[in-house]
Amino acid sequence: MINVIPRNAKRVFKGILFDVYQWKQKMLDGSVETFEAVKRNHSVQVIAVLNNRIVLLTEEQPFIGKFVSLPGGIVDKGESPRAAARRELLEETGLDCSSLMLWRKASISSKVDWTTYYYIARDCKKISEPKNSPGERLVPFTVSFEGFLKETQKKRFRNKSFSEIIFREAASKQKKDALKKQIFK
């Protein structure tokens, strides 16, 4: 992956979620232009397997409304993506897992320094109740593999980048079978 923000960039704005960086860049014709990119904490999403079913969330947040998502959230400063995936899974579903595997990493743009780490959590067991934060209402539910594929393609599924990944991964019977094997191994 290409570094989105070069070392000589200066932060010109520090926001709650995004920081804005600018730097001078020599163009191909020799002129110099100011380039800009934003940075935010990375995030995690978890494909959690509970009793041979996949855990999704019906979620509601102010401004966004209701939608369906995978368990997940922001990687806190100083926290590894793996630790964040375990923490978010427990907070949002009350589940812990015996196996957590990094499945994929994805970035949305060359102008946004933000990576989402997708994990597969197998052998999940409920160990507590989900803990909603003040800005969210979460209701975990489970679906079959086929139900998972359908939910990720619906308009109400929030993560459109993930929807696209799943669409490509299940584009043929062979690919769909391979994806199923990866998740339920």
- Token pair for 136: 């969210």
pLDDT value at residue 2 = 57
Pick the closest to residue 120 from 105, 103, 106, 104 (CA basis): 103
Distance CA 6, CA 22 (A): 9
What is the chain's pLDDT, residue by residue, as a tens digit (185 residues)? Answer: 456 899 999 999 999 999 999 999 999 999 999 999 999 999 999 999 999 999 999 999 998 899 999 999 999 999 999 999 999 999 999 999 999 999 999 998 889 999 999 999 999 999 999 998 898 999 999 999 999 999 999 999 999 999 999 999 999 999 999 999 999 98
Distance CA 91, CA 78 (A): 18
pTM for this predicted structure: 0.92
Distance CA 107, CA 38 (A): 13
Domains along the sequence of the chain with CATH: 10-39 (no CATH), 43-184 (3.90.79.10)
Amino acid, res. 128: S
- Token pair for 35: 């380039």
- Token pair for 121: 């959590």
Pick the closest to residue 39 from 77, 5, 74, 73 (CA basis): 5
